Amino acid sequence: MKFFVDTADIDAIRELAATGLVDGVTTNPSLIAQSGRDFFEVIKEIASVVDGPVSAETVAMDHETMLQEGRKLAALADNIAVKVPLTPAGLKTCKALSDDGIKVNVTLCFSAGQALLAAKAGAAFISPFVGRLDDISYDGLDLIEDICQIYANYDFDTEVLVASCRGPLHVTEAAKIGADIATVPPKVLHQLYNHPLTDKGLDAFMKDWAATGQSIL
Ligand code: E4P
């Protein structure tokens, strides 16, 4: 499973990229607003720090303007994936950009039918939002299972990018299902490291080692 980081916080991205665990980055207009920075500057900076795809989202509602925005965003760096919403205009734009060889991430997916349409429109990535489905008492992971099954049935190349991950279980359950990618806030990536028995075991090893009076270096 690939890990994308879901943030526009360049310091957090740099820190996590240094671990070698980051395969890409996703942003959205809310994350850009939170960063307080210029959209184009921050996207270019992220794209220079991370080798993998960096999703930058369009904000127009109509196809023609969305297409212009998508082309402008794609020109910022070789590793930009243009993010468009799962609307008729978004899927038309997805098809046009994909035909031009630009990677498109179709976002705000909440049903298997929507995911099927995105794959047929040539999306490189589909972003189903598991956390937001959980928020309204639907099991977001059921949707991941359905999409993975449908894409396997028809050999679609579209990668399932599990979005709106709220904790480590969303990541590991999605990995069990076989989703291609999880995009996670930095906090969730840090949470994946944690286990109380790791901390407890390490404490005991360090105490016992100190008692030997030896050193490795
Ligand atoms: C990623 O592409 C999505 O924009 C993001 O995961 C949404 O997460 P949220 O539901 O926590 O805002």
Tell me which residue of 150, 99, 159 sits closest to 127, measured CA to CA: 159
Fold of the domain built from segment(s) 2-192: TIM Barrel (3.20.20)
Helix (H) or strand (E) holding 141: helix 140-153
Q: How far is the CA of 131 from the centre of ligand 1 (A)?
A: 8
Q: Which atom of ligand 1 is nearest to the CA of 161?
A: 2
Strand partners, 183: 4
Average pLDDT over residues 71-83: 98
pLDDT band at 76 (very low <50, low <70, confident <90, very high): very high
pLDDT band at 186 (very low <50, low <70, confident <90, very high): very high
Phi, psi of 183 (to 5 degrees): -105, 125
Catalytic residue among 83, 103, 120, 187: 83
Helix (H) or strand (E) holding 4: strand 2-6
Q: How far is the CA of 208 from the centre of ligand 1 (A)?
A: 44
Q: How far is the CA of 45 from the centre of ligand 1 (A)?
A: 20
pLDDT band at 67 (very low <50, low <70, confident <90, very high): very high
The pTM score is: 0.96
Mutate to test the pocket of ligand 1, among 55, 135, 164 (most ligand atoms within 8 A of CB): 164
- Give residues (CB < 6 A) around ligand 1: 6, 26, 28, 107, 127, 129, 131-132, 163-164, 183
Give the ipTM.
0.97
